[in-house]
Amino acid sequence: MSDLSSLTISELQTGFRSGAFNPADAVRAIESRIESVDPQIQAYLARDFDSALAAAEKADVSLPLGGVPIGIKDVINVLGEQCTCGSKILAGYKAPYDATAISKLRAAGAIPFGRLNMDEFAMGSSTENSAYQITRNPWDTTRIPGGSSGGSAAAVAAREAFATLGSDTGGSIRQPAALCGVVGLKPSYGRVSRYGLVAFASSLDQIGPFARSTRDCAAMLNAIAGKDPRDSTSLDLPAEDFTAGLGRDLKGVKLGIPKEYFVDGMDIRIREKVEAAIRQCESLGAELVEVSLPHTEYAVGVYYIIATAEASANLARFDGVRYGHRAKNPTDLLDHYRRTREEGFGSEVKRRIILGTYVLSSGYYDAYYLRAQKVRTLIRRDFTNAFEKVDALICPTSPDLAFKIGERVNDPLRMYLADIFTIAANLAGICGISVPCGLVEEDGKQLPVGLQFLGKPLDETRLLGIADAYEQAGSQEILTRIP
Amino acid sequence: MSSPNLDVRDVARLARIELSDEEASTFQSQLGSVLEYVEQLGKLDVSQVEPTAHAAPVFNVFREDVAKLGLERAAVLANAPHAANNLVIVTKVIE
């Protein structure tokens, strides 16, 4: 039998249903691939092959994701497994329940498997902020995989998983997908329940899939989407088949090119690949329209006020009382809190809690937080106006190729600017997807470039259809190449 | 770069985080640069703009006021840093 680890979910299911191989074979293929490459890649923080094999033996392959093992970012609770969020403060924590996205994956027959590395509490763009290990980009192991869902992206690229779940607060699915040469989808805000996703910035966070095809991402979204009484921001919408728009061309599709996303200073090689992809979409029948999102330059500033403000409130729960790390021998309660949080949190998390506390503090609230919320309105309005003229936007996912490990760790602002093309989608609550659109040679290695499509709120079916049409024509060389 | 109004030690005290001298000085300069960057938001006239707190059009989501079972006590206590007699043991609060 040839190596199963490189198959897509659709190919895997065809094999399961024809009896060519079974889910236990798939788990064993992933196991042997992880054993051989994860010592270099370091995508996984934990994995339990025995329980995955036990689940595979009982799997019902007639279900939509029957018997498919799915890797999980270590910020989403899976009953009985660790959920460290890449932080020392949650070392030893075992999830007492399943996140709704996990219950839904199980109901669709999937096997949640393994815990994937990430920037601590999803704060970062390189996965270097993990308290546990540095995940490496499979295309060049001296480089970062992107972040914060770097483990989820690297595992899919390195064939250590067929598909994974990540979370996207400012680009944490799309940017690592771009840098690792895989497909990553951020659903619209409210599409997927956040229950059981450890909160970073509650008005921006959304769970989404990574896979080696748009079709697989659509199948994953079919499984995890839907209203959940446990997340009051999840939306009650008619059931939808997100694969319904796949397999078409782009005739009659209007794609907007936001001029602010083609700025001086971005890597010219990325620009060339993205522009070539845009021409390819035109040749597939798309009509191209230049649009403007005039408040784009403010998105990073708005994001780092709103996201840190929300984080400072959300992370107040890590107080060393009910779970997680507690400082030894505190002199009093204040000392207990302060040393617990000093010892448990890493630098980036402390930086963001301090910034968020500052922008919410008396005397600065109006100047920073309220003003940022108002500019957020302007950013949303930019998208609403653009989507009156076009069906979706097409642009780069990241202004950078994967950068070297260590290159930006001491320059937080420069690290924040890596998210410049992804952040606005979270502020506006729209959906977005990154698909590979080219390889650029750097230091003798091939590095992937990501193409981003942004869709209207809750327009995932169309967004996935557009991404699939491009992917069939333009991404295959990268998606089928094992880095 | 340092912001005149940001005192990292004072804010860290509000956020209940102890900081080493080295961290305080590094954060003071790094967050100064970030605050300087976000000053650009001041260029916009937002006097006529409503704030957006949330991207989803949902407000006041209610459910029936019916008691439901929570997590098992043992499952909750298993994660407590210090537990005994079916209780979480906390740091002394009363002098």
The predicted pLDDT at position A288 comes to 98
The predicted pLDDT at position B9 comes to 96
- When pLDDT is averaged across residues A202-228 and rounded to a whole number, the result is 98
The predicted pLDDT at position A2 comes to 62
**Residue A434 preceded by cis peptide, ω within 30:** no
The per-residue pLDDT of chain A, averaged, comes to: 96
- Asked if A358's CB is within 8 angstroms of B34's CB, the reply is no
- When pLDDT is averaged across residues A238-245 and rounded to a whole number, the result is 96
Q: DSSP 3-state assignment of A90?
A: helix
Cα–Cα distances in Å, from A476 out to A13, A251, A330, A370?
A: 20, 21, 57, 45
- When pLDDT is averaged across residues A458-476 and rounded to a whole number, the result is 97
The beta-carbon neighbor of B80 closest among A322, A370, A380 is A322
- When pLDDT is averaged across residues A359-383 and rounded to a whole number, the result is 96
Helix (H) or strand (E) holding A167: strand A163-167
DSSP assignment string, A377-418: HHHHHHHHHHHHH-SEEEEES-SSPPPBTTSSTT-HHHHHHT
The predicted pLDDT at position A415 comes to 84
Q: Which of the following is catalytic: A126, A148, A193, A398? A: A148
The predicted pLDDT at position B2 comes to 46
Q: What angle do helix axes A347-360 and A299-314 make, rounded to 10 degrees?
A: 100
The beta-carbon neighbor of B38 closest among A304, A341, A380 is A304
Is A148 among the residues known to form the active site?
Answer: yes
Is A73 among the residues known to form the active site?
Answer: yes
- pTM of structure: 0.97
User: Is it the case that residue A277 has pLDDT exceeding 90?
Assistant: yes
User: Is it the case that residue A14 has pLDDT exceeding 70?
Assistant: yes
DSSP summary character for residue A358:
H
- When pLDDT is averaged across residues A79-105 and rounded to a whole number, the result is 97
The predicted pLDDT at position A265 comes to 76
Q: Which of the following is catalytic: A167, A172, A213, A312? A: A172
The predicted pLDDT at position A200 comes to 97
Q: Domain-by-domain residue ranges, chain A?
A: 4-255+388-479
User: Is it the case that residue A371 has pLDDT exceeding 70?
Assistant: yes
Q: Is the dihedral of CA A21, A27, A32, A37 positive or negative?
A: positive
- Kindly tell me the burial class for residue B48, based on how many C-beta atoms sit within 10 Å of its own C-beta (0-12, 13-18, 19 or more): exposed
pLDDT digits (tens, 9 = 90+) for A304-354: 999 999 999 999 999 999 999 999 999 999 999 999 999 999 999 999 999
E strands, A117-156, are none
Give the residue on B whose Cα is nearest the Cα of A341.
B17
The per-residue pLDDT of chain B, averaged, comes to: 91
CB < 8 Å & 24+ apart, contacts of A233-240: A233/A189, A233/A190, A233/A194, A233/A202, A233/B54, A233/B56, A233/B58, A233/B61, A234/A190, A234/A191, A234/A192, A234/A193, A234/A194, A234/A195, A235/A190, A235/A191, A235/A458, A235/B56, A235/B58, A237/A458, A240/A460, A240/A461
Cα–Cα distance, A135 to A44 (Å, whole number) = 8
- When pLDDT is averaged across residues A291-304 and rounded to a whole number, the result is 96
- When pLDDT is averaged across residues A430-454 and rounded to a whole number, the result is 98
The beta-carbon neighbor of B17 closest among A353, A361, A371 is A353
Give the residue on A whose Cα is nearest the Cα of B49.
A374
Q: What are phi and psi of A434, to 5 degrees?
A: -115, 130
Is A172 among the residues known to form the active site?
Answer: yes
Helix (H) or strand (E) holding A438: strand A431-442
Q: How confident is the model at residue B3 (pLDDT cuts 50, 70, 90)?
A: low
User: Is it the case that residue B1 has pLDDT exceeding 50?
Assistant: no
The predicted pLDDT at position B56 comes to 81
The predicted pLDDT at position B5 comes to 81
Radius of gyration of chain A (CA): 21
DSSP assignment string, A310-343: HHHHHGGG-SSSSSS---SS-SSHHHHHHHHHHH
Q: Which residues in chain B have their CB less than 8 angstroms from residue A362's CB?
A: none
The predicted pLDDT at position B57 comes to 76
The predicted pLDDT at position B4 comes to 62
Say how many CB pairs under 8 Å bridge A and B.
165
User: Is it the case that residue A286 has pLDDT exceeding 70?
Assistant: yes
Q: Which residues in chain A have their CB less than 8 angstroms from residue B82's CB?
A: 326
User: Is it the case that residue A410 has pLDDT exceeding 90?
Assistant: no
For B1-43, which CATH superfamily applies?
Glu-tRNAGln amidotransferase C subunit, N-terminal domain (1.10.20.60)
Is the CB of residue A368 less than 8 Å from the CB of residue B38? yes
Cα–Cα distance, A326 to A329 (Å, whole number) = 9
Amino acid of residue A317: R
- Asked if B12's CB is within 8 angstroms of A350's CB, the reply is yes
The predicted pLDDT at position B63 comes to 86
CATH 3.90.1300.10 fits A4-255+388-479, yes or no: yes
pLDDT digits (tens, 9 = 90+) for B19-64: 999 999 999 999 999 999 999 999 999 999 999 998 887 888 888 9
The predicted pLDDT at position A266 comes to 84
Give the mutation candidate from B5, B34, B45 for the A interface (greatest A CB count, under 10 A).
Answer: B34
Tokens describing residue A347: 């630098």
